[in-house]
Structure 1
């Protein structure tokens, strides 16, 4: 059932559907589906315990910081509820131990702000009376939902600005791991750049971490040494922005506005906002309305581009923002024909990639190297 007034008020869509069903909403970029599970029982606000497992530190000014702002929004909206969090949850059996401990402490909802795979899946399966959410997850249960952001749209928009501002046409990307969020980011960014500079290319360097300032700085330095004059990435800190500032290059960042670390280099950032979405999930859990959903938060609500940096020319900003307006109106740049890095047609002419395909993008387009 779709309640249009609720959708408008909350700034994102929550669509009930049969198990496994999905819906593409071109005007927002959001896809949402719900499993045919019975809602978990209501919880009195004073008995509610909501716990977060964070992949990084809350002080990163990036991904984890943005999620913790969402936790703080929940605490403000439900002052009688208790919120818990653990930082730097490792990708190991220790993650399972932390999630089990949350449940032992009475958590009614447990949220992981990264993909923990079996480490959260196995715990959720053993505690069916607890609601779970896994960011960037892909293996839902009747009590385990998933959520993410449609970052490929603002990445394309930022790519347009990068293409207009790059003199060399060589772009660099500091990558965490070769995972779909990286492929969709690099591909979207280069596609945006190539829409205004067809000869543009992008080199990626994988550092096997979400938060490693030293490795990110080294990767940014190497990319500039190889000719890149605009950097992009998916890091949870500002290291490669600082490198770009020192070397006279430009940079597009992720998560939050961190321009103060490189005001001359800063083009924009892919900014995320989970506040409203977190508050709504907790409201549903307390009210006894919660069933797991698989949500991708749309551009303009859960994710967007940051305000342009001070050195971005007005005409560049205007041209990129015109593309944003088209996307907000329902246009998508992700329509075939699109070839992979080996020249094979992966998206046929006339086919518009769905949000599910964009979310699960696991190959590089022509012009991307290093992944």
Structure 2
């Protein structure tokens, strides 16, 4: 982390209020004076211009939200289920132990987002490497260079769609590609977010279920509990405590505190999701937890994650099938020996060796 001062927001109600507060933004009134949270080019500091941020945000959501609508995601459900079945059939042919991360957690979200956006799946090693650099919190220059490389890659793909259009998001952007690279940059951000976070949530979700055999037994007995299991995984899994930065565009009174114009605010959904004032027994993993206030893992308000429906489709397909196909699935190494990928805005497992 950079060591600069931010207001830290960990309570559920405060987090929800500030997520939705129009006086907070990703841009800063004086960018050169802005506090930085880390070296990440994505979430380390301010983004955009204060004069144009709201208009740009509205324009971009208008372009991208239809591709991730709940109706379109519902239509994808059967297809994603088929992809999961294919990955599990492949896994079953392997001699255990096998790396669940390499065989399921990583390839599934990558394949889905590639098909949705229109990105060649055979480029996965290339853009995954760029994504890892983009997500770095340690090397600001390399993170920014990777972000620019990803934008250039996406711009090339979008231009190629002019001659070879498909039924995909990049083809829809052919006439929207702008000279300043903003469209391509955001498309690159979608490619990054569309697989990085879901990969980690599959891995961590498997670990949560293995660590709670009573909950796993419920899911094995009734795969119809998968949607509830997914929501509880999303609530409890904290792949990163990096937090989401915002900057005050004007003074904001919050209770007896005042956030001054230009000051930084970092919202930490993973902590807010365990606020005992909202969730009874918040540290208990309960896949039958009664519906209540929605967790904040996808944010809240006007910047609610446009990929939330897609993530749910993928996660429900995985957790509704994985332990049915492999009822004896378990770790092949001690938990302490699992290799981690660290120094990124979303830390996770580098490998997940399992047997069955």
TM-score normalised over the length of structure 2: 0.26
Point out which structure has higher relative CO (alpha carbons under 8 A, 6+ apart): 2
Q: Of Structure 1 and Structure 2, which has the larger fraction of its residues in helix?
A: 2
Q: Of Structure 1 and Structure 2, which has the larger fraction of its residues in strand?
A: 1
TM-score normalised over the length of structure 1: 0.25
